[in-house]
Amino acid sequence: MTALLDAPDPLSQTAAPASAPGTRRPGGGLLRYIIIRFLLIIPTVFILVTVVFFLMRSTGDPITAAQGGRLPPDELARRVHEAGYDQPLIVQYFQYLGQVFTGNFGTTFSDHQAVTTVLVTYGAATLELAFYALIVAFIVGVPLGMLAAYFRDKGWDAALRIFAILCYATPVFFAGLLLKLIFSVWLGWLPVSGRATTGDELTMQSLDHPTGIYLIDAFQTGDPAVVGDVLAHAVLPGIALGFLTAGVFLRLVRTNVISTLSTDYVASGRSRGVSEFRLVRKHAYRPALIPIITVMGLQIALLLGGAVLTETTFEWKGLGFQLAQYLQARDYVAVQGIVAMLAVIVAITNFVVDVIAALIDPRVRY
């Protein structure tokens, strides 16, 4: 029996079939695939910026929307003229595109900051939150998906599938409020809101080269208490946003592990006496990770969308939090700039994920 268990996998002994004349070699289209996917970033961002521009202007010019009723009519008309918002809409659109392509997203009306400054200041917080959420999604979704496949059609499988549905069906703001109520108000274990205590924030901001990513800045201080404080503030927001994606990962892993368990090489392992748990843990889960990598780009878009509600719920001052503030202030210039930046982040992330998926699975290229 030991000899049978130690025998090499039948797939490793199977000779690769000879390539038929005229067939494409594996990997031959990789460079072409990467170039095409990179070029698709441009129309993706262009379409989203265009849609956001015309939707924002459908209610009038930004100055009238933000300051209407607060300024005398002559002063309001003067500001509208100086900003060029009395010109035809198509002229404003091409002027805006010219500014965007040069990296100028305008200046906010509510707090008179350059939109690029807002993006740099608050973008790091949103990326940090998305990073925490992805860690939670992988830690929760992948192992539980493997467990659900192992207990297929049994009680544990049904319970985990219900848990997955609850994860991505529960509104993220409701999950956040529930977590705050339990772990902050009732138990008092974790902070209610913010990214760090005020004292630790001042310590990190006083660094010579702060990155805006608090975890990195906390390590730069060299104080374990600051690192612990930053991580404590990140737990609840990371869980609230991460569970949104963990449910998707759980279902994907379960489905693909079950599919892999029905393949010939797994059946060969069963016939040699390999246990079901070892088959799931050693052989079936790796192919199941390919679909997760493939859909990760879409999940980044979902995370950034959920970040708006998560950051507002936990007062996590990132792009989502600022976007909600600017929407309330009807600061459409700021909204357009933030949405354009989020579009760029999503498009670039999808490109990177597609390239990784193509490197792992050549079938993606064709």
Is 112 in contact with 242 (CB distance < 8 Å)?
A: no
Taking alpha carbons only, the member of 219, 215, 242 closest to residue 132 is: 242
Residue 50 has pLDDT above 70, yes or no: yes
Question: What's the pLDDT band for 236 if we cut at 50, 70, 90?
Answer: very high
DSSP 22-74: TPPPTTTTHHHHHHHHHHTHHHHHHHHHHHHHHHHHTT--HHHHHHTTTS-HH
Residue 38 has pLDDT above 60, yes or no: yes
Share of the chain above pLDDT 90, in %: 15
Amino acid 4: pLDDT: 40
Q: From CA 114, how far away is CA 117, in angstroms rounded? A: 5
What amino acid is encoded at 174 in this protein? F
Amino acid 98: pLDDT: 83
Please report which helix (H) or strand (E) contains residue 290, including its range: helix 285-314
Amino acid 283: pLDDT: 64
What amino acid is encoded at 28 in this protein? G
Amino acid 218: pLDDT: 92
Q: What is the pTM of this model?
A: 0.77
Residue 318 has pLDDT above 90, yes or no: no
Amino acid 363: pLDDT: 62
Encode pLDDT of 91-110 as tens digits: 888 888 888 877 777 788 77
Amino acid 65: pLDDT: 67
